[in-house]
Amino acid sequence: RYGAKTFFRLYLKGVVEKIKKLYFKKVNVKNET
Q: What is the DSSP string of 9-25?
A: HHHHHHHHHHHHHHHHH
**Contact in structure between 2 and 10 (CB atoms under 8 Å):** yes
Q: What domain range includes position 15?
A: 1-33
3-state helix, strand, coil in the chain (%, to 5): 90, 0, 10
Claim: this prediction has a pTM higher than 0.75: no
Cα(33)–Cα(6) distance, integer angstroms: 42
The band of 33, judged by pLDDT with boundaries at 50, 70 and 90, is low
Provide the domain count of the chain. 1
**Contact in structure between 12 and 4 (CB atoms under 8 Å):** no
Largest CA distance in the chain: 47
The band of 17, judged by pLDDT with boundaries at 50, 70 and 90, is very high
Whether residue 13 has pLDDT greater than 90: yes
The band of 28, judged by pLDDT with boundaries at 50, 70 and 90, is confident
